[in-house]
């Protein structure tokens, strides 16, 4: 069994291992930039794929564009979901190091191709998003499994927070890139996809160079058991389905993912249609700056969650209880900030946007907890467990997003956000069923 409060301070983590964590951070940053390119250019892109003719009803056109937006996100989400399971099985059997390189090449190519699609080619757009989902599906199983192999248990929450903060920082960078490349009328949206997609090749070279030699053996090798854990043979994934710990991890993952990714997909549309619409004199660049602040807050929440968990552990609180306390605090923050955020007047941005930023920080902070749970269950099955949890989460996200596309419009966003803002409370409640001082069988 794990010792929740070690009597002696843990040994320092070798610098190269933290270097690998920062490479995972960069990969996740690039991953999110490729994904966010659609969200940050949605107004200009949708105008080409669902054009408006003179005399068309603006509300009807807006509804058609939201429906297409939902279908495109659904295509990405389902491919991303299904291939996380495939990724998990491959990573736990073959070279994590080289699978990661192949994945980033695939998703980067999908991003670049999107920039060359002809206007109105809806099927081709959806095909590119499917390809993007296939490649990006490998990022989280690869990163979470890699951290399990190179970072000791008491520091994994911080490592998870660091690597996953790349998602938020990528989401910050994309609106800024979009603001620079879109132009006043949004005509440069294709350049955003091409520029962002091309960055992935640079990471692939850096990863291969930095993780060569003995480091490659650690990254691709059998994960070492944690101190006090059962070092016996790994049970099958099917056996893991009978453990309480797995279901706690799954429930946490679904709730955390649903809350954040719903906001990630629909907050930009909320800004453009209800809070900062063109009809009120706002331009795309205005919305990009608000989105940048939203994702900066999310980035801070990711790192702060991991840091606070580590701080509690080093202060003598058990690993399990530290995670429960932090997740509960994050969930209460999201729920408490969501209602006043959506009710605040649009002409009071100094009230509205800081509250939404608090929601973003709390929503993303939950990922550090979720990843730590997945890493604790069965070390040899970490990627598979993460893949199953990610697949389930994204099926739910995709179905909810598809349904939202039917009702999302000015006046309806408040109810959608309030409902989703309560979901992390379910994750926090589930977390308290995780047994302390257990090897993971729960």
DSSP string, 395-421: HHHHHHHHHHHHH-STTTHHHHHHHHH
Measured over the CA atoms of residue 288, residue 291, residue 297 and residue 301, the dihedral's sign is negative
Tracing tokens 């408040």 back to the chain, one arrives at 414
Backbone φ and ψ of 175, nearest 5° = -60, -35
Q: Are 327 and 428 in contact (CB under 8 A)?
A: yes
DSSP for 242-302 reads T-HHHHHHHHHHHHHHHHHHHHHHHHHHHIIIIIS-GGGT--HHHHHHHHHHHHHHHHHHH
pLDDT at 9: 55
Between CA 2 and CA 9 the distance in angstroms is: 15
pLDDT at 323: 92
Longest C-alpha distance within the chain, in Å?
74
- The residues near 171 (Cβ < 8 Å, ≥ 6 apart) are 32, 33, 36, 264, 291, 294, 295, 298
DSSP for 129-193 reads HHHHHHHHTTHHHHHHHHHHHHS-HHHHHHHHHHHHHHHHHHHHHHHHHHHHHS-TTSTTHHHHH
Cα 188 to chain centroid distance, Å, stands at: 26
pLDDT at 122: 86
pLDDT at 233: 64
Q: Are 196 and 37 in contact (CB under 8 A)?
A: yes
pLDDT at 289: 84
Token pair recorded at residue 265: 């997909």
Determine which helix (DSSP H) or strand (DSSP E) holds 41, and give its type and residue range. Answer: none
Q: Are 279 and 272 in contact (CB under 8 A)?
A: no
pLDDT at 10: 57
pLDDT at 136: 92
- Report the b/e string of 198-212 with b at 16+ CB within 10 A: ebbeebbeebeeebe
Token pair recorded at residue 264: 């990630």
- The residues near 15 (Cβ < 8 Å, ≥ 6 apart) are none
Cα 339 to chain centroid distance, Å, stands at: 23
Between CA 203 and CA 157 the distance in angstroms is: 24
Look at residues 104, 101, 39 and name the one whose alpha carbon lies nearest to residue 72.
Answer: 39
Low-confidence ranges of the chain (pLDDT < 70): 1-11, 224-234, 437-442
């Amino acid at each position: 069994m794990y010792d929740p409060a070690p009597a002696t301070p843990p040994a320092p983590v070798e610098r190269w291992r933290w270097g690998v964590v920062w490479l995972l951070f960069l990969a996740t940053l690039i991953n999110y930039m490729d994904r966010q390119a659609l969200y940050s250019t949605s107004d200009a892109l949708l105008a080409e794929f669902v054009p408006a003719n003179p005399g068309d009803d603006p509300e009807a056109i807006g509804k058609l564009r939201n429906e297409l937006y939902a279908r495109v996100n659904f295509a990405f989400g389902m491919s991303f979901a299904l291939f996380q399971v495939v990724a998990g099985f491959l990573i736990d059997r073959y070279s994590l190091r080289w699978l990661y390189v192949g994945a980033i090449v695939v998703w980067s190519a999908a991003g670049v191709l999107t920039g060359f699609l002809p206007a109105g080619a809806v099927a081709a757009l959806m095909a590119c998003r499917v390809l993007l989902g296939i490649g990006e599906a490998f990022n989280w199983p690869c990163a979470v499994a890699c951290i399990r192999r190179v970072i000791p248990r008491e520091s994994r929450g911080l490592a998870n927070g660091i690597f996953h903060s790349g998602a938020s920082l990528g989401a910050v960078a994309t609106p800024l890139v979009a603001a620079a490349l879109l132009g006043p009328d949004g005509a440069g949206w294709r350049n955003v996809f091409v520029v962002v997609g091309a960055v992935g090749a640079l990471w692939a070279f850096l990863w291969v160079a930095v993780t060569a030699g003995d480091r490659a053996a650690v990254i691709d090798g059998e994960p070492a058991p944690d101190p006090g854990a059962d070092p016996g043979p790994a049970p099958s994934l099917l056996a893991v389905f009978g453990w309480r710990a797995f279901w706690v991890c799954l429930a946490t993952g679904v709730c955390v993912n649903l809350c954040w990714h719903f906001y990630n997909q629909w907050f930009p549309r909320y800004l453009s249609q209800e809070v900062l619409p063109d009809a009120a004199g706002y331009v795309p660049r205005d919305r990009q700056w608000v989105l940048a602040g939203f994702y900066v807050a999310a980035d801070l929440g990711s790192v702060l969650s991991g840091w606070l968990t580590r701080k509690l552990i080093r202060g003598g609180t058990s690993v399990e209880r530290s995670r429960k306390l932090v997740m509960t605090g994050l969930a209460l923050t999201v729920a408490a900030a969501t209602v006043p955020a959506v009710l605040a007047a649009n002409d009071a941005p100094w009230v509205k946007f800081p509250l939404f930023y608090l929601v973003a920080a709390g929503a993303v902070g939950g990922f550090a907890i979720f990843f730590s749970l997945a890493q604790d269950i069965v070390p040899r099955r970490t990627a598979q467990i993460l893949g199953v949890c990610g697949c389930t989460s994204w099926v739910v996200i995709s179905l909810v997003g598809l349904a939202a596309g039917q009702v999302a419009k000015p006046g309806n966003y408040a109810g959608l956000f309030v409902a989703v803002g309560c979901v992390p409370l379910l994750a926090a409640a589930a977390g308290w069923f995780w047994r302390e001082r257990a090897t993971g069988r729960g």
